[in-house]
A and B are shown apart, each in its own frame.
Chain A
Amino acid sequence: MIAEFGAFALALALALSLLQTALSTAARVRRSPVLAGAGQGASLAAAGAIALAFAALIFAFVVSDFSVSNVAANSHTDKPMLYKVAGAWGSHEGSLLLWCLVLTVFGGALARARGLPFGLKASAVAVQGALGSLFLAFAVFTSSPFTRLDPAPFQGASLNPLLQDPALAVHPPLLYAGYVGFSVCFSLAVAALIEGRAQTAFWPAWGRWVRPWALASWALLTVGITLGSFWAYYELGWGGWWFWDPVENASFMPWLAGAALLHSAVVTERRGALAGWTVFLALLAFTFSMLGAFLVRSGVLTSVHAFAVDPQRGMMLLAILGIASGAAFVLFAWRAPQLKGGGLFAPVSREGALVLNNLFLTAAAATVLLGTLYPLILEAASGATISVGPPYFAATFTPLMMVAFVILPAGPLLAWKRGDLRGAMQRLAVAAGLSILAALAAYALWEPRNAFAAAGIGMGAWLIAGSLAEVAERARLFRASGAEVMRRLKGLPLGAWGMTLAHLGLGVFILGAVVETGFKVEAARALTIGQSVSAGPWTVTLDEVRVVEGPNYLAEQGRLTVRPSNDRGRAETITSERRFFPAGGQTTTEVGLDFRGLDDVYVVIGERAGSPAEPAWVVRLYWNPWARLIFLGPTIMALGGLLSLLDRRLRVGVGSRRRKTA
């Protein structure tokens, strides 16, 4: 019964989304507030209906209703409750429902947004409704998770054990919130193309409206990607955290476009310039999201993360992408020449720096796009098969980003319209000196010598010191009295702190990534009980191996002691497991992680080796220096985005109220 209810709610949501589109369009054409209100109501109702459908699916998973084929394929009675619930978004159908849920909830939030002008809002709600209709139609007609099985099996096939992990249980909702959040930017951009007028106060206001949505989506996507990366790091058991896998790339492209959008929207908001470009990026970010959905779900890519789905559904997704983005970009091509936003600026200015930022971020996104799609295109065109992996991105993406990072700290120190480059450089002299010193010190002191890593450490230090220099500059640190500095620090808007944190987080991430990549040490040995293996400054001893029983798996659990090789410092005991899941017949590894300051000691127990009389286990040990920073950095970045989001200026209506009192 619950599955039929869910299917009904899903179909209802499609009907409501169609209604939302029709009502909002009619409202815009007739300029009728009543119709607009009805359209917004339909939007909220659609979100409610999808929420009910999703709740029904989760319920079916919680009670293990195996008469629902999706539950039978992805759940099992022995699975812990968290993974029963998470199983609801562990498959193509379920995750598509989650996608639709996020899309309509963001649509509902857009419908409730205050302060937008009538025409813009009605158009945006109509576009959001149209996007919702496309994806809901896809869900209803090709990918309903509520199909029944007859006869129902007694037991389900269980979720892929690799996905049975807390980080991966919450990773998709966050990732999708980010991915799909960009749909609101997309809708606002299309609405602006319909409504926008040249040379008016419209564009700064539009920049302010679009920025909170972009910030929220980007911050959520940052957290989502970081969680996914952390999962890969400790669940796949090979110590890697970014593989330039096509599916990782698919999530990275909207992130890069979103980051460019955030920066370009600032220029549009403050100076009314780059209006056309900001609109383009808003369209691009969600286009990349949809492209990602196509790549992951169509089966055209081979990836660890891809949903195995038939090509026919992939073609439908490609059609959705073509219709939505195609229409938007045609509209853009038609209207863009009329979008002269004004706001002239000199090449050396804050705007100029942000244009450079956009140039590099967009080029980086294009590189990732090229690297992801090129093998497909080349194979289709000439039949030649190539692989594009980490070495390609190290040779293209990394140098582009490095140039962008060199410029980055100067941007916030330049004035709008016309900046003082020499002044900015003088203010960054200390930061530059410190980072060069850091690079030299790293080169001289860190064994083995690694010039690339040393340069990378200098770059990380440059971003961190540069961000702090900017705050110091704003607070007149060392130049004004203590009280004045405090007053200025308190007076800094949250947006400024957000920017500083985000840039600082980037520096922290680069430090972690560079040091981990450049200096990690690994070792592997077959150990009998009591034997040890060493890597870097750490020695790991295998103390005991026993069979343990989990809720839905059996495991060989190794207990190991991690101690410094020179015996100065405490010893820690960790466990690592090799789990066997009888339901699907798969094995997974549970990594033993010993957090030592910023470093990770990463231990994986492997297959049994040696003779039955004297059993041994292959133990792989990694010393990953500064690995903590790889995941801390993006967290700081997301926090920066969140802080910016809380800035009063972005809360619609506050600015106008202040203007009245002034």
Chain B
Amino acid sequence: MRRLLTLMAAPLLAVMLTAAEPPAALDRPLTDAGQEARAQALFKDVRCVVCQHEAIADSPAGVAGDMRRLIREEIASGATDQQVRDDLVRRFGDYVLFTPPVRAGTWLLWFGPFALVALAALILVLRSRRRAVETTPLSPEEEARLDEVLRNEKLRRDPDATSPHDGR
């Protein structure tokens, strides 16, 4: 039965494989290597507008192929990266770029992480100032007592015991 299915499906397969969704036309890299590198870098920042969360650099969708071609054409005609980005945003909105715009509404997004670290660091500094650690060196009696304890426990006193490990 399955063999029969295969026989029936085999001629259809090639059609199905290509017709399942409109495939991306084959990419034609720009001849200028520098321009092509710029295009590739841009592809990573541009969202495929019909996909879930994919850059057009990583998407097999037909639309992604069209967008790649569009960007290559613009670069070939001399547009700067910024012009290409502006053009994309004009057509599709901010949504199309994976780099969110920096404006009043996104300050929290862009600067929040660093503000958090700065704030936490400030709190830590203030707290460590408020309660400076008091560690007085051992008195001679205490030193003698420590030696005795170590002797009784048959432990060596390590003169360069700067090691942080508690010996366990």
| B146 on the A face (CB < 8 A) | no
Q: Contact at B94–A387, with CB atoms within 8 Å?
A: yes
| CB-contacts of A320-359 with B (<8 A) | 344-347, 350, 355, 359
Q: Contact at B117–A608, with CB atoms within 8 Å?
A: no
| B121 on the A face (CB < 8 A) | yes
Chain A interface, >50% SS class: mixed
| CB-contacts of A344-395 with B (<8 A) | 344-347, 350, 355, 359-360, 362-364, 366-367, 370-371, 374-375, 378, 382, 384-392, 395
Residues of A within 8 A of B100 (CB): 374-375, 386-388, 392
| A531 on the B face (CB < 8 A) | no
Q: How far apart are the CA atoms of A418 and B136 in the complex, in Å?
A: 12
User: Residue among B17, B93, B96, B120 with the most chain A CB within 10 A?
Assistant: B17
Sampled A-B contacts (7; CB under 8 Å): A243-B54, A359-B117, A363-B113, A370-B109, A389-B47, A400-B114, A582-B5
- Residue in contact with B52 in the complex, picked from A303, A346, A355, A580, CB distance below 8 Å: A303
Residues of A within 8 A of B101 (CB): 386
Q: How far apart are the CA atoms of A395 and B113 in the complex, in Å?
A: 11
Instruction: Answer whether A423 and B162 are a contact pair too, CB < 8 Å, given A304-B52, A360-B117, A389-B98.
Output: yes
User: Residue among A306, A582, A585, A607 with the most chain B CB within 10 A?
Assistant: A607
Q: Contact at B109–A374, with CB atoms within 8 Å?
A: yes
Q: How far apart are the CA atoms of A257 and B127 in the complex, in Å?
A: 23
Q: Contact at B9–A582, with CB atoms within 8 Å?
A: yes
Min Cβ gap A651→B in Å is: 14
Residue of A nearest to B3 (CB): A549
With A344-B133, A400-B117, A554-B9 given, name 6 new contacts (CB 8 A).
A238-B59, A245-B53, A363-B117, A370-B113, A396-B110, A582-B5
Q: How far apart are the CA atoms of A366 and B16 in the complex, in Å?
A: 45
Q: Contact at A396–B98, with CB atoms within 8 Å?
A: no
- Residue in contact with B106 in the complex, picked from A240, A367, A386, CB distance below 8 Å: A386
Q: How far apart are the CA atoms of A355 and B163 in the complex, in Å?
A: 20
Please, how many residues of chain A have a CB less than 8 angstroms from a CB on the other chain? 77
Q: Contact at A586–B20, with CB atoms within 8 Å?
A: yes
Min Cβ gap B68→A in Å is: 11
Q: How far apart are the CA atoms of A143 and B70 in the complex, in Å?
A: 45
Residue of A nearest to B59 (CB): A238
Residue of A nearest to B53 (CB): A245
Q: How far apart are the CA atoms of A347 and B133 in the complex, in Å?
A: 9
Residues of A within 8 A of B165 (CB): 474, 496
Convert A593-618 into 0s and 1s, putting 1 for each residue whose CB lies closer than 8 angstroms to a CB of B. Answer: 00000000000001111000000001
Q: Contact at A302–B124, with CB atoms within 8 Å?
A: no
Q: Contact at A580–B117, with CB atoms within 8 Å?
A: no
Residue of A nearest to B23 (CB): A607
| B71 on the A face (CB < 8 A) | no
Min Cβ gap B143→A in Å is: 18
| B82 on the A face (CB < 8 A) | no
Min Cβ gap A612→B in Å is: 9
Residues of A within 8 A of B135 (CB): 417-418
Convert B134-168 into 0s and 1s, putting 1 for each residue whose CB lies closer than 8 angstroms to a CB of A. Answer: 01000000000000000000000000001111101
Residues of A within 8 A of B162 (CB): 415, 420, 423
Which residues of B come within 8 Å of A, CB atoms?
A: 2, 5-6, 9-10, 13-14, 16-18, 20, 23, 26-27, 44-45, 47, 52-55, 57-60, 93-101, 105-106, 108-110, 112-114, 116-117, 120-121, 124, 128, 131, 133, 135, 162-166, 168
| A246 on the B face (CB < 8 A) | yes
Instruction: Answer whether A243 and B110 are a contact pair too, CB < 8 Å, given A346-B133, A392-B98, A392-B100.
Output: no
- Residue in contact with B44 in the complex, picked from A390, A524, A547, CB distance below 8 Å: A390
Instruction: Answer whether A302 and B52 are a contact pair too, CB < 8 Å, given A387-B97, A389-B98.
Output: yes
Q: How far apart are the CA atoms of A415 and B106 in the complex, in Å?
A: 42
Residues of A within 8 A of B13 (CB): 547, 554, 556, 580
| A507 on the B face (CB < 8 A) | no
| A35 on the B face (CB < 8 A) | no
Q: How far apart are the CA atoms of A344 and B94 in the complex, in Å?
A: 50
Q: How far apart are the CA atoms of A618 and B65 in the complex, in Å?
A: 14
Residue of A nearest to B134 (CB): A344
- Residue in contact with A304 in the complex, picked from B53, B60, B94, B124, CB distance below 8 Å: B53
Q: How far apart are the CA atoms of A350 and B166 in the complex, in Å?
A: 12
Q: Contact at B131–A371, with CB atoms within 8 Å?
A: no
| A416 on the B face (CB < 8 A) | yes
Q: How far apart are the CA atoms of A392 and B57 in the complex, in Å?
A: 17
| A92 on the B face (CB < 8 A) | no
- Residue in contact with B168 in the complex, picked from A245, A413, A493, CB distance below 8 Å: A493
Instruction: Answer whether A417 and B105 are a contact pair too, CB < 8 Å, given A303-B52, A385-B94, A585-B20.
Output: no
Residues of A within 8 A of B59 (CB): 238
Q: How far apart are the CA atoms of A418 and B18 in the complex, in Å?
A: 68
Min Cβ gap B36→A in Å is: 11
Q: Contact at A413–B164, with CB atoms within 8 Å?
A: yes
Min Cβ gap A545→B in Å is: 11
Q: Contact at A414–B164, with CB atoms within 8 Å?
A: yes
Q: Contact at B17–A419, with CB atoms within 8 Å?
A: no
Q: Contact at A389–B45, with CB atoms within 8 Å?
A: yes
| A12 on the B face (CB < 8 A) | no
Instruction: Answer whether A419 and B58 are a contact pair too, CB < 8 Å, given A363-B116, A554-B13.
Output: no
Q: How far apart are the CA atoms of A389 and B121 in the complex, in Å?
A: 27
Instruction: Answer whether A359 and B121 are a contact pair too, CB < 8 Å, given A303-B52, A649-B168.
Output: yes
Residues of B within 8 A of A649 (CB): 168
| A87 on the B face (CB < 8 A) | no
| CB-contacts of A412-463 with B (<8 A) | 412-420, 423
Q: Contact at B112–A366, with CB atoms within 8 Å?
A: yes
Q: How far apart are the CA atoms of A507 and B57 in the complex, in Å?
A: 28
Closest 6 CB pairs of A and B: A389-B98, A415-B164, A238-B58, A391-B99, A367-B113, A385-B95
Q: How far apart are the CA atoms of A385 and B52 in the complex, in Å?
A: 14
